[in-house]
Amino acid sequence: MGRGAVALLTAIGLAAAAPVRAARNAFPKAAAAYVVERDGRLLWSGAADKRLPPASLAKMMTALLVVEGGRLDESVAVSRTAARETGTRLGLREGERLTARDLLTAAIVRSANDACRALADARGGSQAAFVAKMNARAAELGMRNTRFVNACGHDADGQYSTAADLALLAGAVAAKPEYLSASRLERATIRTQDGKRSFTFDNTNALIGRYPGAIGLKTGTTPGAGTCLAALAERDGTRVLMVLLNAKDRWWGGDAVLDRAFAADPP
């Protein structure tokens, strides 16, 4: 292990020279809260039940409901509220029509709030009605410390989740081929159904195409949440899931944590 790797592991609170064994809180400085699992079993966690803003990791729930609802080739009209969404967006215009599948791809890959809101409005009738479905599905998954207020992860009073709950949600979307087929894309192009406009965008997940085995899942960044990441990587049939909330360094620090997880003794 080189000096750079040693320094990085030390900076995130994971001793480079320590034996590779499962531990409750192996790297406390990596994030305000985190969970690392391998093949569905817990390796490490820290402050896993602490309620924090989820940022765009909330979009995993929006995506899960859309995928479970089917009809991904259905035409969806961009609502007025979707066209007015703020933050990361494609610049969709009210009345434009795209397939639900293309909007889902934009919400997952680009984390586009206008695409996310268009899906929520179409599948719920309104954002409020859709959010009620999000909270009901969260309860079904056992996400006991989660409450959604909006569909796309904007900071809002009363919206919170935990690393443990988001790991449950991440496991649910990871079981959906439709979600993984989008989340593993380095770049995607979608088009309005009239063919007048197209949108090409890169994945906000910097691990995709750079970290060996990375296949998802979702990024998130807001002023209140900081930088967040739900990452999934697979090597030789082994899957590692990592959820970081308010991470110190979700990319290079995340690399080190994933490497450590693949090397760890079985939990």
Q: List active site positions.
A: 56, 59, 111
Q: How far apart are CA 180 and CA 141, in angstroms?
A: 19
Q: What single DSSP character describes residue 161?
A: B
Q: In the structure encoding, which two tokens stand for residue 20, read together?
A: 């590779």
**SS3 assignment, position 24:** coil
Q: In the structure encoding, which two tokens stand for residue 1, read together?
A: 């292990």
Determine contact, residues 208/219, Cβ cutoff 8 Å: no
Determine contact, residues 241/18, Cβ cutoff 8 Å: no
Q: Closest Cα partner for 111 from 87, 129, 128?
A: 87
Q: In the structure encoding, which two tokens stand for residue 170, read together?
A: 């991440």
Q: In the structure encoding, which two tokens stand for residue 50, read together?
A: 């602490």
Residue 3 burial (C-beta neighbours within 10 Å; 0-12, 13-18, 19+): exposed
Beta strand extents in 122-237 (DSSP E only): 187-191, 198-202, 214-222, 226-235
